[in-house]
Structure 1
Amino acid sequence: MDIFGLQVSVGALVGKAVMLAVAVVAALVVQRVVVRLMRRALDASSLPSASIFINIVRVLIWALALLSVVEPVFGFKPDAIITGLGVVSLAVSLGMQDTISNLVSGISIMLSKAVQPGDQVTVAGVTGEVTDVSWRSTTVRTRGGAVQVIPNSVLSSTALTHVTDWTVGCCTVPLVVVPGADLDAVEAEVRDVVLRVLEGQLDPAFETGVIFTAFTAYGAQGEVQIHVLPGVIFSAAQDAVVRALTGRDWLANAL
């Protein structure tokens, strides 16, 4: 009986080993097929860092394979394991709320393609070019060279503005022209000054504009719209124009 019992025990052990091997092989085959199909679909979608979807699917496949053999091979009931994992997941989620929020927001942003590298945006008071969109944050580089890392949870809950090519390089200089001045002559003079002091820094795709928008007690109020090339700091361009215009006889003292 002991020998027979030993033979039965060995037979059961072999059966469990075979069942486990079948589950592993099946998981490997399913993983290979599913991952290959997902790579094709994700590559076509042009999603950045799309490998996270593949990793999530891999975890799910192996989790299902483990649950399918955990009772017949290891003698544990799947219900107990699922309950334990639920408790652990709850504890982890409470301690990683911000990370999970950023992750979910990142997936939403990437799937909707609301923001992509190369976009010019204004978000959370920051205007610049999106240089990277990851699962936790989005990186924006301002024209001054500063790099702002914005959590995806903030990005998804804050108003986002896509900036046009006309707007992204435009800086303005306010001015007030004395009553009776020839506004056309003022416009021509301002254009000449801007071309001279900002030579090599202006964007050739756009002309310098001089727009008058209101009348005040001091004269006609307007602004100079200057379009500069990437890398040119707005404040430096504005400073150069203001210095060059200071002292003009048509310029009101209210400037």
Structure 2
Amino acid sequence: MSQLEQNIETFVHSDWITTAITAVIILVVTAVCARLVRRFMRRLLHFNEEKNLPSSSIFVNIARASVWILGVCIMLSTCFDVNVSAAITALGIGGIAISLGFQDTISNLIGGLQVSLMRIIKPGDNIEVGSSSGVVKDITWRHTTIRNSKGEEVVIPNSIINKTALVHLPPVNQVSVPIVVVTGGEQLDEVAKAIEHAAAEAAGAVGKLTKQPTLAFSQILDGGFQGTIVFRMADSRTGSRAADAVLRAVAPLTRSNAPDRAEKVLDEARRDEQKAKDAADSSSQAKPKPKPKPKPDPKAPQSQKATSVFRRRMARALRKDEGEQS
């Protein structure tokens, strides 16, 4: 039994056990610090009120990698007596070979830092790179992920974004409907107002609008005037249905008899507004006015007081008369 206890004590007090325990403690502390740094960076980038910090995950990953590299260096120098400076110098000699092997990775990392720090793109932007277009979801140390209109996620290396022409598209919830109005120029304003009214009703039936439809003409053609209806939906998923509804609603107003149809649409709009106004007025008149509360009479307390005094005097006089008669 004593031999077993001695063997256990020798095993516990051996150098490599102490080294292993120290290394495990350093790694655990490093993991906890990396987790705290990740949470701090995510909150810092998410709750940045001035929006002057990019919210890409590449910075979170770089911070985590820095913490882990520092922890591993401390573990090597403390537990295994490794000269970290000499190791870095030795790695510097073979840096050329390593850089050639990781050329694509390094170019993607630098490209991700450039597009994030220079704020060329950020999550939420609607971009087009080559033949791919969509909304930026995240920028990592290697690639940028975008989601196209079909719901597919497209992965684009950061180096390609740096080398290829980048197009910033309008917000994904902004809908543009190009039209051609075939009419004379004398009544163009009236037709434009009717088209905007019809587009607002059609888009409002599909979903909530954050920006009312506006029609802007850009070109004069042989057959009419070319313009674009622009509006914004609260939900970007309803954009295609709203565009279809608007196009169907304004199609009759773009033909040769557009002025007559526009006049009818505007008359109906005026009648609807007048009905709504009359209904609001009638509802306000139908409500009974609250009766004014009677104002308190400042003389009332004095009159009551005088009455009580008179009654007391009369009672005293009656008692006095009764006493005299008795």
Structure 1 residue 120, shift from structure 2 partner: 2.7
Letter in 2 for 1:95: G
Per-residue Cα deviation, 1:180-203 (whole angstroms, up to 9, x for no partner): 551133223323443455453355
- Asked whether the equivalents of residues 139 and 148 of structure 1 are also in contact (C-alpha less than 8 Å), the reply is yes
In structure 2, the CA distance between the partners of 1:29 and 1:212, relative to structure 1 (3 Å rule), is closer
Could you say what secondary structure the match of 1:145 adopts? coil
Structure 1 residue 112, shift from structure 2 partner: 5.5
Does residue 131 of structure 1 match 2:137? yes
Letter in 1 for 2:127: T
Structure 1 residue 42, shift from structure 2 partner: 2.9
Identity of aligned residues (%): 28
2:151 — aligned with what?
Answer: 145
User: Where do 5+ consecutive residues of structure 2 fail to align?
Assistant: 1-14, 46-54, 259-326
> Following the alignment from structure 2 to structure 1, what is the Cα–Cα distance between the partners of residues 96 and 74?
20
> Following the alignment from structure 1 to structure 2, what is the Cα–Cα distance between the partners of residues 143 and 239?
18
2:256 — aligned with what?
Answer: 249
TM-score by length of 2: 0.51
Structure 1 residue 97, shift from structure 2 partner: 1.8
2:69 — aligned with what?
Answer: 59
> Following the alignment from structure 1 to structure 2, what is the Cα–Cα distance between the partners of residues 174 and 242?
11
> Which range is displaced more, 241-250 or 223-232?
241-250
- Asked whether the equivalents of residues 99 and 136 of structure 1 are also in contact (C-alpha less than 8 Å), the reply is yes
Could you say what secondary structure the match of 1:249 adopts? coil
In structure 2, the CA distance between the partners of 1:218 and 1:83, relative to structure 1 (3 Å rule), is same
TM-score by length of 1: 0.62
Per-residue Cα deviation, 1:109-143 (whole angstroms, up to 9, x for no partner): 455565443x2332415554322232222222234
> Following the alignment from structure 1 to structure 2, what is the Cα–Cα distance between the partners of residues 116 and 212?
32
* Equivalent residues in 2 for 1:68-79, closer than 5 Å: none
Letter in 1 for 2:211: F
In structure 2, the CA distance between the partners of 1:153 and 1:239, relative to structure 1 (3 Å rule), is farther
Query: Alpha carbon RMSD of aligned pairs, Å?
Result: 4.7
Structure 1 residue 221, shift from structure 2 partner: 3.1
* Equivalent residues in 2 for 1:1-255, closer than 5 Å: 38=37, 42-43=41-42, 45-46=44-45, 48=57, 50-63=60-73, 66=76, 85-86=91-92, 89-110=95-116, 115-117=121-123, 119-124=124-129, 127-157=133-163, 168-180=173-185, 182-195=187-200, 197-201=202-206, 203-228=208-233, 229-234=235-240, 237-238=243-244, 241=247, 245=251, 248-250=255-257
> Following the alignment from structure 1 to structure 2, what is the Cα–Cα distance between the partners of residues 67 and 120?
45
Could you say what secondary structure the match of 1:139 adopts? strand
- Asked whether the equivalents of residues 31 and 68 of structure 2 are also in contact (C-alpha less than 8 Å), the reply is no
In structure 2, the CA distance between the partners of 1:57 and 1:157, relative to structure 1 (3 Å rule), is farther
Larger Rg belongs to: 2
Could you say what secondary structure the match of 1:231 adopts? helix
> Following the alignment from structure 1 to structure 2, what is the Cα–Cα distance between the partners of residues 244 and 114?
38
- Number of aligned pairs? 232
Letter in 2 for 1:142: N
Which of the two has greater helix per residue? Answer: 2
Structure 1 residue 230, shift from structure 2 partner: 0.9
Structure 1 residue 208, shift from structure 2 partner: 1.5
Letter in 1 for 2:97: A
> Following the alignment from structure 1 to structure 2, what is the Cα–Cα distance between the partners of residues 134 and 45?
17
Letter in 1 for 2:251: L
Per-residue Cα deviation, 1:22-74 (whole angstroms, up to 9, x for no partner): x969976995897588558635532536144233342245346646887xx68
> Following the alignment from structure 1 to structure 2, what is the Cα–Cα distance between the partners of residues 133 and 77?
32
> Following the alignment from structure 2 to structure 1, what is the Cα–Cα distance between the partners of residues 182 and 107?
52
User: Where do 5+ consecutive residues of structure 1 fail to align?
Assistant: 1-15
